Amino acid sequence: MSATDPLEFDLVVLGGGSGGLAGAFRAAAHGARVALLEPAELGGTCVNAGCVPKKAMWLAAQLASQIGAAAELGFDVPAVPGFDWPEFITDRQRYIDGIHESYRRRLDQAGVVLMPRRGALQGPRTVVADDGTRLHARHVLIATGSHPLRPRIPGAELGGVSDDFFALRRAPARVALVGGGYISVELAGVLQALGSRVELFVRGPRLLSHADEDVVAQLEENYRQLGVGLHFGYRLREVEPGEDGRVRLLDADGAATEAFDTLLYAIGRRANSAGIGLDRAGVATDARGNIAVDAFQNTTAEGVYAVGDVVGRETLTPVAIAAARRLMDRLFGGREDARLDYELVPTVVFAHPPIGGVGLTEAQARERHGDAVRVYRSRFRPMLQALVDTPLCSLFKLVCVGEERRVVGIHLFGEAADEILQGFAVALKLGATLADLHDTVAIHPTSAEELVLMS
């Protein structure tokens, strides 16, 4: 081998986030020689600026709400507990550092060569790292993720994105969130429960356009009761600086809001597909910059594959992981038809309380199945809310189709919806009918029992 020959591998992976790590581990388990390039912390968005720190903040917010409830119910604790934000961030970071360490150890044990470098394609099966190292492989996996968008308006730089939320070192007092999707709804719930005053500025007519209308209406009602300000049909034209580093939002008519000490945009994300040599390798992207893949995660270049946020489809951690594992089973594990079925992916938005869904919303079902659709709803006050005597309600909903009432959609808003949904998603995937749910004896007293008692 000459000094200029590239290093040889079976698989080179660009990106050590959810998809890249899962692909590297699975390929190595099949005996492949794997190199993984990751210039930042292992774990990508999910571990460092997504699911994990978000869930930690959500847990803190849950505790704050429960301490408030405890105070109402005779416990000797303050109704509004003090919260040492910096101390919690230290604990959160210690937990995340443990994940980094565990990934490093596991990569080492699996024999994966980890290069702390940014990589780019030089040709279809050749990758060059930013220190000039060249790598050649039979297969290249692109799992470079995505980045948060900012609006293109005057003063946009006065606001931050979700990454900036995770970098906050103290609790903000008044927060404006722009956007009505996953991140806006989640951060609003967390911040409100931890004592901030929060307002959401939403371009569309409702929150969470992907979710079922009824459960979203209940979420909006609860958020209003908790004091979260909701502004729909809001056109943000400009952000202007105010006193003491605060900012004001200006709408399309030039009307200004009150001053906020923190402004965060959550208006979607864009694939990290620029600057990684896609043209040189013949890898095509769509109009939004997502890497184009077929049902088997093949890009337009032979031997080059893509998974996760960079393909822009169901941009969730378990989807990136599942797609990568199936791909590696196909490339190295002899399972020629292994591929991810992107249908019936269960999703949860960690609102307060969480909102989860799998399958068709009522609107989607009516569009597809017309009059054959039957809908069952249960709106109830969970026992803790009833004990504390708050008006906050849960809403569970089943969407069924046909004479046999096959369940095609399950939509939950309420305590523990995040934990309840997983098992019911299995039932839906197996083709459960309403009668199957009725045949299952309820677990009492729980919220989950509503799903087998609905009629």
Ligand X SMILES: NC(=O)c1ccc[n+]([C@@H]2O[C@H](COP(=O)([O-])OP(=O)(O)OC[C@H]3O[C@@H](n4cnc5c(N)ncnc54)[C@H](O)[C@@H]3O)[C@@H](O)[C@H]2O)c1
Residues belonging to the active site: 444
Contacts with ligand FAD, 182-221, as mask; x by CB under 6 A: -x--------------------------------------
Specify which residues 376 forms β-bridges with.
Answer: 398
The answer to whether the beta carbons of residues 355 and 312 sit under 8 Å apart is: no
Give φ, ψ of 11 to 5 degrees: -140, 130
Which listed option, ligand FAD, ligand X, none, makes contact with residue 145 (CB within 5 to 8 Å by class)? ligand FAD
C-alpha dist (Å) from residue 77 to 66, 81, 83, 195, 398: 11, 7, 13, 16, 39
Residues 38, 186, 199, 214: which binds ligand X (CB under 6 A)? Answer: 186
Among candidate residues 40, 279, 234, the one with its CA nearest the CA of residue 144 = 40
Q: Is 303 in the site for ligand X (CB under 6 A)?
A: no
Residue sitting closest to ligand FAD (CB): 17
Residues 32, 56, 211, 349: which binds ligand X (CB under 6 A)? Answer: 349
35 vs 266, which CB is nearer to ligand X?
266
Q: CA angle, 447 as apex, 441 and 452 as ends, to 5°?
A: 30
38 vs 362, which CB is nearer to ligand FAD?
38
Which listed option, ligand X, ligand FAD, none, makes contact with residue 189 (CB within 5 to 8 Å by class)? none
Residues 199, 212, 309, 415: which binds ligand FAD (CB under 6 A)? Answer: 309
158 vs 271, which CB is nearer to ligand FAD?
271
Stretch that binds ligand X, among 16-24, 115-123, 172-180, 334-342 (CB under 6 A): 172-180
Least Å from the CB of residue 18 to ligand FAD: 4
Q: Is 310 in the site for ligand X (CB under 6 A)?
A: no
Nearby residues of 94 by Cβ (< 8 Å), 6 or more positions away: none
Residues 188-207 within binding reach of ligand X (CB under 6 A): 203-204
In what helix (H) or strand (E) does residue 66 lie, and over which residues does it extend? helix 51-72
Full DSSP string of 163-191: HHHHH--S--SEEEEE--SHHHHHHHHHH
Full DSSP string of 234-285: --EEEEEE-GGG-EEEEETT--B---BSEEEE---EEE--TTS-HHHHT--B
Q: Is 44 in the site for ligand FAD (CB under 6 A)?
A: yes
Q: Is 46 in the site for ligand FAD (CB under 6 A)?
A: yes
Contacts with ligand X, 146-165, as mask; x by CB under 6 A: -----x--------------
Stretch that binds ligand X, among 81-89, 96-104, 223-231, 264-272 (CB under 6 A): 264-272
Residues 9, 11, 12, 15: which binds ligand FAD (CB under 6 A)? Answer: 15
172 vs 181, which CB is nearer to ligand X?
181
**Alpha-helix runs per DSSP H in 160-261:** 162-167, 182-193, 213-226
Helix (H/G/I), strand (E/B), else coil: 245 = helix
Residue sitting closest to ligand X (CB): 181
43 vs 180, which CB is nearer to ligand X?
180
19 vs 155, which CB is nearer to ligand FAD?
19
Q: Is 14 in the site for ligand FAD (CB under 6 A)?
A: yes
Q: Is 143 in the site for ligand X (CB under 6 A)?
A: no
The DSSP code for 417 is H
At 315, the amino acid letter reads T
Distance CA 392, CA 414 (A): 9
The answer to whether the beta carbons of residues 199 and 365 sit under 8 Å apart is: no
With 0-12 CB in 10 A as exposed, 13-18 as middle and 19+ as buried, what is 429? middle
Least Å from the CB of residue 123 to ligand X: 32
Q: CA angle, 63 as apex, 61 and 67 as ends, to 5°?
A: 120
Residues 7, 29, 40, 388: which binds ligand FAD (CB under 6 A)? Answer: 40
Q: Which residues of 333-353 are buried (b: 16+ CB within 10 A; e: fewer)?
A: beeeeebbeeeebbbbbbbbb
Which listed option, ligand X, ligand FAD, none, makes contact with residue 360 (CB within 5 to 8 Å by class)? none
- Name the one residue in this structure whose structure tokens are 């912390």: 41
Least Å from the CB of residue 201 to ligand X: 7
Distance CA 328, CA 336 (A): 10
List contacts with ligand FAD (CB under 6 A). Answer: 14-20, 37-40, 44-46, 50-51, 54, 118-120, 143-145, 162, 183, 272, 276, 308-310, 315-318, 320, 350
List contacts with ligand X (CB under 6 A). Answer: 151, 178-184, 186, 203-204, 236, 266-269, 315-316, 347-350
